[in-house]
């Protein structure tokens, strides 16, 4: 085998001929292929695009379309940091960060014991906590909170009337009838989503350990 262009000494690979299995006809055929002009400017190597899997196709379509009927592109999440790393520059928790989840539990518990589902004038002035401590309700705070809730209900009702102008009241006497009304309401919300692209007060039903939970979203 000839020496390298640099005139370096032969090494252990100089006795290996990588093209020994090719004939003169093979080399001539390769040269002819390389000399062929490309009319389209595309590469001569055949390229096959990878098809999307059913899972990726379903993930890319969430049922929402724009005015042209096209599925909008999903945003790409580039920041993999946790919310703590993104929004807590000082790298430590505040007091609110630590007590907020616990306060939500207490707020729910206090709301049940204070009977917030009743009207303001019929609620008790005091209630007893789980540990036996009696708490006095601040009427001024309760009135302010109730006013904010009433304002939110009014706005919610106006938005609902934009979709459903007529309200139909149905008396449900049994548990089965109440569940039937929930299912009927869910079906009506699905119909609103198909026709209008939006819905109000979609009921979400969840059954956990045979305990049913319902919530409007």
Pairing of strands 203-208, 211-216: antiparallel
Q: pLDDT averaged over the chain?
A: 72
Question: CB of 215 within 8 A of CB of 204?
Answer: yes
Please report the pLDDT score of residue 177 as a whole number. 92
Q: What are the structure tokens assigned to 208, written together?
A: 């956990």
Q: What are the structure tokens assigned to 172, written together?
A: 């449900």
Instruction: Flag whether pLDDT at 39 surpasses 80.
Output: no
Facing residues of 127 across strands?
135
Q: How far are the Cα atoms of 39, 97, 108, 114 from residue 104, in angstroms, in the given order?
A: 69, 12, 6, 15
Please report the pLDDT score of residue 75 as a whole number. 62
Instruction: Flag whether pLDDT at 200 surpasses 70.
Output: yes
CA distance 128 to 33: 91
Please report the pLDDT score of residue 61 as a whole number. 43
Compute the half-sphere exposure of residue 120: CA atoms within 13 Å on the CB side of its CA.
12
Q: Which helix (H) or strand (E) holds 134?
A: strand 134-136
Instruction: Flag whether pLDDT at 9 surpasses 60.
Output: no
CA distance 100 to 127: 22
Please report the pLDDT score of residue 126 as a whole number. 92
Is the CA virtual torsion 130, 131, 137, 138 positive or negative? negative
Summarize pLDDT for 94-128 with one digit per residue, the tens: 777 777 777 788 888 888 898 888 888 888 999 89
């Amino acid at each position: 085998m000839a020496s390298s262009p640099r005139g370096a000494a032969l090494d252990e690979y100089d006795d290996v001929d990588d093209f020994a299995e090719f004939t003169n006809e093979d080399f001539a055929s390769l040269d002819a292929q390389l000399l062929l002009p490309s009319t389209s400017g595309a590469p001569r190597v055949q390229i096959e695009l990878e098809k999307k899997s059913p899972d990726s196709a379903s993930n890319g379509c969430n049922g929402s379309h724009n005015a042209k009927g096209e599925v909008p592109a999903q945003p790409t999440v580039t920041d993999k940091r946790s919310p703590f790393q993104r929004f807590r520059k000082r790298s430590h928790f505040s007091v609110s960060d630590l007590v907020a989840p616990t306060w939500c539990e207490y707020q729910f518990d206090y709301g049940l014991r204070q009977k917030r589902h009743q009207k303001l004038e019929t609620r008790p002035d005091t209630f007893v906590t789980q540990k036996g401590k009696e708490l006095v309700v601040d009427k001024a705070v309760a009135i302010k909170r109730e006013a904010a809730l009433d304002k939110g209900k009014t706005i919610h009702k106006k938005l609902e009337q934009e979709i459903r102008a007529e309200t139909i009241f149905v008396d449900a006497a049994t548990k089965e009838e109440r569940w039937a009304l929930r299912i009927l309401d869910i079906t009506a919300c699905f119909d609103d989503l198909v026709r209008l692209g939006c819905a109000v007060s979609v009921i979400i039903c969840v059954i956990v350990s045979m305990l049913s939970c319902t919530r409007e979203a």
